[in-house]
Amino acid sequence: MRDAQRKSLDKISNSGMAVTMDIGDADYIHPREKEEVGKRLALMALAKTYNRKGFVSESPLYESMSIKENTATIKFKNSPMGLTTYGKPFINFEIAGADKKFYPAKAKLIAGGIEINAPEVKSPVAVRYAFTDAAEGELFNTAGFPASSFRTDDWEMEVEVK
């Protein structure tokens, strides 16, 4: 669902998305910190609707991926002053090769983005971040907005039927 919302931003003019992965609740659809959601939506409205400038108003969004040897480098929009984890370890990145098997990845903040790799993936082709139903994000821009979940692949998801 989050991925479909993220993808719609480029297709629907005057649209926006307040990411709440840091304040949501896996067992309840409505975020518990409604005031924070309101602040994020208000900042977005001030910037997009009223053309106010001088502040960050949106979450980091996936922009591009490049590959060099066994490492993928991800760049983001909406992070003019950089990215941070506020000291949390990276646990939500996965990486895959041409076999389409995703493995937990090691991620490292670099200037302008993140480097991602895993020992099991010698030639990466795809990266996913926080791509589970109840992921709590650990990646933020320095203005405090959490990054949206994303994927660089367009592979069909296999669903287990029990």
**Residue 149: per-residue pLDDT:** 93
Rounded to an integer, what distance in angstroms lies between the CA atom of residue 61 and that of residue 78? Answer: 7
Contact in structure between 107 and 115 (CB atoms under 8 Å): yes
Report helix, strand or coil for 47.
helix
Rounded to an integer, what distance in angstroms lies between the CA atom of residue 26 and that of residue 146? 16
Can you give the pLDDT at residue 2? 76
The token duo for 96 is: 């895959």
Question: Phi then psi for 45, rounded to 5 degrees?
Answer: -65, -45
Q: Are 82 and 56 in contact, with CB atoms under 8 Å apart?
A: no
Instruction: Give the H/E segment covering residue 141.
Output: strand 140-141
pTM for this one?
Answer: 0.88
pLDDT value at position 151?
Answer: 95
Q: What size, in residues, is the chain?
A: 162
Closest Cα partner for 97 from 75, 115, 122? 122
Residue burial 51-73, b: 16+ Cβ < 10 Å; e: rest: eeeeebbbbbbbeebeeeeebbb
pLDDT per residue rounded down to tens, the chain (162 residues): 777 888 888 899 888 888 988 887 777 777 788 999 999 999 999 999 999 999 999 999 999 999 999 999 999 999 999 999 999 999 999 999 999 999 999 999 999 799 999 999 999 999 999 998 888 889 999 999 999 999 999 997 665 555
